[in-house]
Structure 1
Amino acid sequence: MLGFRDPVADAIGLLRPRTVIGPSLRATGDWALRFAPFPHVRIGGLVRGACWLVIEGHEPVFLREGDTFMLGNPPPYVLASTLDTGPRPAESAWASAEDGLVRIGPESEQDLYLCLGDIAFDDRNAALLTDLLPALVTVRATDPHGKPLGQLVDLLVTEIGVRAPGGPLVENHLAQILLVHMLRAHAAETDRPTGWLSALNEDGIGAALRAMHADVARSWKLKELADISHMSRSAFAASFKNHVGVPPLEYLIQWRMSLARDALARDSLSISELAQATGYLSESAFSTAFRRVVGSSPTQFRNQTRQPQHSAGNDD
């Protein structure tokens, strides 16, 4: 049986996040690094000092100590001490890393200290998040969400520094907790968060999303969802589409198919079991819905994408 909790946990579970904590950066003097595009998500926290973050096509952002940022499928970008310093490729600096640290300039108590981590997702479902994110989310240290994020970055830095047994596991979980807190901060500052990010807001739409995710196999009616949201059917339907981007029952179908793609790729359920788990009375009804959304039959999709369950990133 498929496991269901809430929209945020469900979506991140389907993303199958894999975390790589990159070398930390310690820098003094004038410096600038140009980073190549990175798929999915990069999260950074400024432990000490200040620097500029410049993304192509966006205004430069000045980061201060305690600030945290998240890049979603970013184009090339630059981290620099000043805007007039010519950047060099970050790859060359990263190649010089020793013991998880890249150093630019002489060691100093006043140097910049930046922690970076990359989070990659299962390509089949990566769009569940990356399509909803802007290129940059910044949370200032003075923001209400800034304190817990700063504490998480400090924990991550400490864990990297001690290199204790089980360290990679702890680092991976801390990075995923950082991701959730960054998404909460982003949703709180966005007037109309889209998709499942709407569930991060405590409102009627979030209540309906949580209900659908809690019982995805149920034959939901629009009135039932409207009642959960304490709205009339027409007001709920309009508000849901405005926030999430699609009508309520269409969202339910799309979510069911996201679950189905994941289960088929992992070969964890038969097609008949999957049809029942996602709320369809027959294999044919499920197959028709799957083909409409995905563009191929469940059998074709499974044969094309099936992976051994022991493959990397699929055991969590």
Structure 2
Amino acid sequence: MDATPWDGRDRVARVLQTLRMRGVFYCRSELTEPWGLEMPAIAGSVSFHVPTVGSCWLRVDGREPVELRAGDLALVPHGLGHEIMSSPEIRSSARVDLLPQHFVGPHYSILQHGGGGRATQLICGVVAFDDLAAQELVRGLPSVLTVRGDETVMAASVRDTLRLMADELTRAQPGAEAVATRLSDILVVQAIRAWLAHDPSARDGWLLALQDDRIGSALEAIHANPGGDWNLEQLARTATMSRSAFSARFTGIVGEAPMAYVTRWRMNLAAGRLRDDRATVAQVAAEVGYQSEASFTRAFARTIGTTPGAARRQALSVPDGG
């Protein structure tokens, strides 16, 4: 019997509600056997692939390839490079971003490639999350997450979403990229919900902590008020536990000490805020609970590996894919 408290499930539901993505790139591919495509690694992204006609194989990080049939949905989280090919025997793949293709817009292309044999059509996308809770959730996903089109978890509404996305990207109407990004939200949420419901490994690490009645309440308090004057005693009180019991339980489930988690959460939030050149370092420091800009800079450099100013310059030098 599932003993997970309902409030724990509600916390996961609230995280799923934050899953709003930036569409980095979309591609509609028309492929004929034999063919193989290499998808390069893109840090901080999630790739998805949906065959709409025919079938293909997906291989990640040298693992055994997975067959995808028309209507299946595959997610490749963690920005991992991977290959898609017409058969598992294909050993030579062309890097997809170096192939000639027709760019319908700055973030959407049509690719025609292959040897002239049996046809496969694919809708592929690369998306990214800005919300920190969503990023933590994605960190816990497996290297490949597959939802089969004929499984009961693939509800009719999801199949309808896939058809809508294919229609938007096939006809390339004005605003197709924006619509596809919103539909991507739905697809990714549905795939993660299916994984949460059916994969025992989903009850581990940060997700397990979020669903834990006591640790989850502390996590949600941190997320709701990252700039709060948090210390171990206050967090333990939020979880209605003693300091020693809370610290041991938090560290055992989350994998890091409570105050280390607070610092990492704050610094990742600050890194996101520094992309906005209108916010000063002092303002960002105050938002995440630091009265001293110098102490914030030291914590940021220790956690992120660079200074706030350098992180801002790097972020502003990279064009936004959204």
> TM-score w.r.t. structure 1 length?
0.72
- Tell me if the contact between 1:222 and 1:248 (Cα under 8 Å) persists in the aligned partners: yes
- Give runs of ≥4 in structure 1 deviating > 6 Å: 105-108, 126-130
Task: Mark the CA change 1:38 to 1:287 in structure 2 (over 3 Å): closer, same or farther.
Answer: closer
Task: Mark the CA change 1:184 to 1:199 in structure 2 (over 3 Å): closer, same or farther.
Answer: farther
Task: Mark the CA change 1:181 to 1:245 in structure 2 (over 3 Å): closer, same or farther.
Answer: farther
Q: Show the 5 A alignment for 1:1-316.
A: 17-25=22-30, 27=32, 30-39=33-42, 40-72=45-77, 73-80=79-86, 82-84=87-89, 89=94, 91=96, 95=100, 100=110, 102=112, 112-119=120-127, 132-143=140-151, 145-147=153-155, 149-188=158-197, 189=199, 190-195=201-206, 201=211, 204-226=214-236, 228-229=238-239, 233-299=243-309, 301-302=311-312, 304-305=313-314, 307=316, 312-313=319-320
Identity of aligned residues (%): 30
Distance (Å, rounded) in 1 between the aligned partners of 2:191 and 2:214? 22
Secondary structure of the residue aligned to 2:88 is: coil
Q: Could you list the runs of 5+ residues in structure 1 that have no partner in the other structure?
A: 1-5
Report the aligned-residue RMSD: 4.0
- The residue identity in structure 1 corresponding to 2:161 is L
Distance (Å, rounded) in 2 between the aligned partners of 1:93 and 1:287? 40
Instruction: Quote how far apart the aligned CAs of 1:255 are.
Output: 1.2
- Tell me if the contact between 2:202 and 2:208 (Cα under 8 Å) persists in the aligned partners: no
Greater per-residue strand proportion: 2
- Tell me if the contact between 1:19 and 1:172 (Cα under 8 Å) persists in the aligned partners: no
- Tell me if the contact between 1:46 and 1:66 (Cα under 8 Å) persists in the aligned partners: yes
- Tell me if the contact between 1:26 and 1:104 (Cα under 8 Å) persists in the aligned partners: yes
Task: Mark the CA change 1:179 to 1:46 in structure 2 (over 3 Å): closer, same or farther.
Answer: same
Instruction: Quote how far apart the aligned CAs of 1:21 are.
Output: 1.0
- The residue identity in structure 2 corresponding to 1:249 is M
Q: How many equivalent residue pairs?
A: 295
Distance (Å, rounded) in 2 between the aligned partners of 1:158 and 1:278? 43
